[in-house]
Structure 1
Amino acid sequence: MESDQQSVEYRARVWSGARRRLWHTSTDGTVGERLRELADWAAGTPYGDGRVDTYGDAVVEELERRVAEELGFPAAVFFPTGTMAQQVALRCWAGRTGNAVVALHPLAHPELHENGAFETVAGLRTVHLTDEPRLPTAEEVRDHPEPFGALMVELPLRDAGFVLPDWDELVAVVEAAREREAVVHFDGARLWDCPAHFGRGLPEIAGLADSVYVSFYKSLGGLSGAALAGPDELVEEARLWRHRYGGQLFQQYPAALSALRGLETELPRLPSYAAHARVVAAALRDAFTEAAVPWFRVHPEVPHTHQFRVWLPYDPDALTAAALSLTEDTGTTLFRRWFAAPAGGPPGMAVTEVTVTAPGLEWTAEDVQEAVRDFLTRVR
């Protein structure tokens, strides 16, 4: 009998080998392929002839400089993980404000995916401003009954469907936090995706906050790693805490190189991905309507970034099997894994995430609709 791990590895091989797909992930391909791609790219840049880093110098320092420049902050520091970066950022701010309470959304990454690290490791306590699947409003920030030292805003809010407020709403939220004398920290794991929605550049968006965390493997396709950007004094203290947390790695040049590649090759393309995600989302809605699917949802209806969610009224394992069958038989990947609705979600529903990157730009609306029809015939 095939083990769960064997199933995972088999699906990964099939989907990464698809001839047509809407997106490629940083986990697609083999070790050799990924290393050769990175080496080939580096060979055509000044980084290829540079020396490897030791404890965060050389190419890692160049990455930090580039991130600070992209976001319009005085300084930035590289971290091996975003989990570590954000714990460090918020505990540094807690020391400055004298208040270890962090206001954030219950769907924020630290609440859902980090096993209580804010409380158990960083000594922070969290409060929630709203339970609605959206970012909090200025009124909710202003009217919360308990003092908090920092407001953490995830842009976009991934587990609500990669959603963003509009620009005026975001500005009002930040101003409301300032009225309460709270610092503002952006969980910007996917901040790179935001300019197309807001119609503003990265420095203007990031400049609303006191500090910003960004990821290098989300949106930019890097191997791993993150950065914390902010004032010089915060970044210098963060370097101390990075060492205390065990994040002062001996060498990180492959991760740093892949991050620089993402900044140079993927970052300029993200607006085109977001624009085409709207085409794909509309085509999915049209195809599900035409097929008379009893209930479905593409959320947001008009995607805010190049990623969005799809909900269908079928068993998630059946949908995953149909997605796999489509790729096995046709070489086309429309969807990948499906999951049961999270607690509190509609019963009997399954959800998946759809991303549009470079391969997806070749898909027309008709291509999407044809793939949906073929996919639905395989759902059992």
Structure 2
Amino acid sequence: MPRISSKGIAMPSSPIRKLVPYAENAKKNSIKVYHLNIGQPDIKTPDVALEAIKNNAVEVLAYSRSEGSDEYRTKLAAYYNSNNIAVTKDDIIVSTGGSEALLFAMGTIADYGDEIIIPEPFYANYNGFSTASGVKVVPVNSSIENGFALPDIADFEKLITPKTKAILICNPGNPTGYLYSKQEIEKLAEIVKKHDLFLIADEVYREFVYDDGIEHHSVLNNFGLDDYAIIIDSVSKRYSMCGARVGCMVSKNKEVIATAMKFAQARLSPPTYAQIASEAALDTPQSYFDNVIAEYKERRDTLISELSKIDGVLVSKPKGAFYCVVQLPIEDADDFAQWMLEKFNDQEETIMVAPASGFYSTPGQGKNQIRIAYVLKKEDLIRSVEILKIALEKYRSQ
């Protein structure tokens, strides 16, 4: 029979979604599953976005421009300028989710076999995007012991080769919730300019910062990176609009935008209705975000407090996004996560988590860690941690 491609065989499974069949089977057996595995917010989508879909004058659902509609990009540029990111609509290409924006970025800056350095653990799909693009991920390890802070610049420099094209960060981080300081962005700016690399920053969680005295610093916030920086963004988390599948790529480097535009033209255009909703979402009042941030901060604090009560568990307190990495007193979190869905329940309830090994590129790393998304209400988080504690006791006693 015909053979599958080597690229297809190498394509990694998602640690976030690969256990879905086991969760579905558990539900068929009347087991309630608390989903801590995926960053699907339960926060209501802003009314202005939903109303824009319900009440519009579209009579022909036509293609938009390949770079996204003028109207949306103009309002999007105004949003960035309000966040001290000085761009115009011509610096923006609208994409089908942040995922496509990352593929555009990799296709634009890297040839087959080129390398991108990424602090790990990192968003699991970076492995998939790099495989699809023929790019090699070169990981630089960050540690749960110091809260996943930026590794030493020396650790980056020793990994740079003639094939290195970029450093990629997620800020705030998925899966760690780490927020890079201004000083850390300055260090990254220094190294990419010194070695003539791009700095790609996945900033989809920009608004999700929780503690007093800290703030998000974009790579385009006056760090002298106009020719070097590429921002990846999305409406998915900001407005609880994951299903819209609208994101964007932002860069002040005209050659980068012109090249990415050819990839955008090849896929024709981003979705029209979703752009209508995303444009309307930009009118979401600040009160919406204030309430969302307060809710997530309470959830984070509740989750960290409950996890800290379990002997042998190590967790780093996230500063942003809505994830945390949890180190468990076991050897194989993949096996444990599947076991909880397949062979365990407490009062007809169990939890689904994402094994953290899939958020690393280095073989063997993260085997005793899981990622938890705190996108459930506080009461459900408390119950989920209770289930986790019971599950750990039973699993370890086998």
Q: Whose relative contact order is higher, 1 or 2, with alpha carbons under 8 Å and at least 6 apart?
A: 2
Select between 260-269 and 226-235 the one with higher mean Cα deviation: 260-269
Of the structure 1 ranges 316-325 and 180-189, higher mean CA displacement relative to structure 2 is found in: 316-325
In structure 2, the residue matched to 1:131 is: 141
The answer to whether 1:264 aligns with 2:264 is: no
- Larger helix proportion of the pair: 1
Query: Where does residue 68 of structure 1 map in the other structure?
Result: 77
Could you tell me which residue of structure 2 aligns to residue 181 of structure 1? 196
The match for 1:212 is: 231
1:297 aligns with 2:314: yes
Structural mapping, 1:112-123, within 5 Å: 112-114=127-129, 116-119=131-134
Q: Quote the residue 1:227 is aligned against.
A: 248
CA–CA distance in 2 between the matches of 1:43 and 1:286?
A: 39
- Matched position secondary structure for 1:103: strand
Cα deviations by residue, 1:205-245 (Å, 9 ceiling, x for unpaired): 6554522011232454221232111227343442222122x
Change (3 A) 1:322 1:220: farther
Match status 1:92 vs 2:108 = yes
C-alpha separation in 2, matches of 1:275 and 1:261: 22
Does the C-alpha gap of structure 1 residues 154 and 22 become closer, same or farther in structure 2, counting only changes over 3 Å? closer
Amino acid at match of 1:231: K
Using the TM superposition, give the Cα deviation of residue 102 of structure 1 relative to its aligned residue in structure 2, in angstroms. Answer: 3.4
Deviations along 1:281-305, one digit per CA (max 9) or x if unpaired, are: 33223432xxxx3x2122x135443
> Equivalents in 1 of 2:121, 2:220: separation in Å?
22
Whether the aligned pair in 2 keeps the contact of 1:92 and 1:237 (CA below 8 Å) is yes
Call closer, same or farther: CA 1:112–1:194 in 2, change over 3 Å: farther
The aligned amino acid for 2:72 is L
Structure 1 residue 320 displacement after superposition: 3.9
- For residues 253 and 163 of structure 1, the distance between their equivalents in structure 2, rounded to whole angstroms, comes to 33
Identity of aligned residues (%): 12
Q: CA RMSD in A?
A: 4.6
Partner of 2:372: 353
> Secondary structure, in 3 states, of the residue corresponding to 2:55?
helix
Output aligned runs, 1:1-380, within 5 Å: 7-9=22-24, 26=40, 41-42=48-49, 44=51, 48-51=55-58, 54-56=62-64, 60-71=69-80, 72=85, 73-74=87-88, 75-93=91-109, 101-105=115-119, 107-109=121-123, 111-114=126-129, 116-119=131-134, 124=135, 126-128=137-139, 130-133=140-143, 134=148, 135-142=150-157, 144-147=159-162, 148-159=164-175, 161-193=176-208, 199-200=214-215, 208=223, 209=225, 210-222=229-241, 223=243, 224-231=245-252, 233=254, 234-244=256-266, 246-249=267-270, 251-254=271-274, 257=277, 260-261=280-281, 264=284, 267-288=289-310, 293=311, 295-298=312-315, 300-313=316-329, 315-320=336-341, 325=346, 335-337=351-353, 339=355, 343-345=363-365, 349=368, 351-356=370-375, 359-360=377-378, 372-373=385-386, 376-377=389-390, 380=394
Check 1:231–1:49 CA distance in 2 against 1; reply closer, same or farther (3 A cut): same
CA drift of 1:262 comes to 8.0
Give the distance between the partners of 1:27 and 1:275, measured in 2 at CA: 14
Q: Kindly tell me: are residues 283 and 65 of structure 1, through their superposed partners in 2, closer, same or farther at Cα, counting changes over 3 Å?
A: same
Contact 1:79 1:226 in 2 (8 A): yes
TM-score by length of 2: 0.65
C-alpha displacement of 1:65? 2.9
Q: Cα 1:113–1:89, aligned 2, differ >3 Å: closer, same or farther?
A: closer
Is the Cα–Cα contact under 8 Å of residues 199 and 230 in structure 2 kept in the other structure?
Answer: yes
Note the alpha carbon deviations across 1:13-58, whole angstroms, 9 max, x for none.
Answer: 999x99x9999964979xxxx9xx78x6546459833437632259
TM-score of the pair, normalised by structure 1: 0.68
- Greater CA drift, 167-176 or 271-280: 271-280
User: Partner amino acid for 2:337?
Assistant: P
C-alpha distance in structure 2 between counterparts of 1:302 and 1:281, whole Å: 11
Give me the whole-angstrom Cα distance separating, in 1, the residues matched to 2:369 and 2:22. 19
Ranges in structure 2 where 5+ consecutive residues have no aligned partner: 1-18, 331-335
Deviates more, 1:53-62 or 1:224-233: 53-62
The number of residue pairs the alignment matches comes to: 339
Q: Report which stretch shifted further, 135-144 or 175-184.
A: 135-144
Aligned counterparts of 1:202 and 1:351: Cα–Cα separation in 2: 27
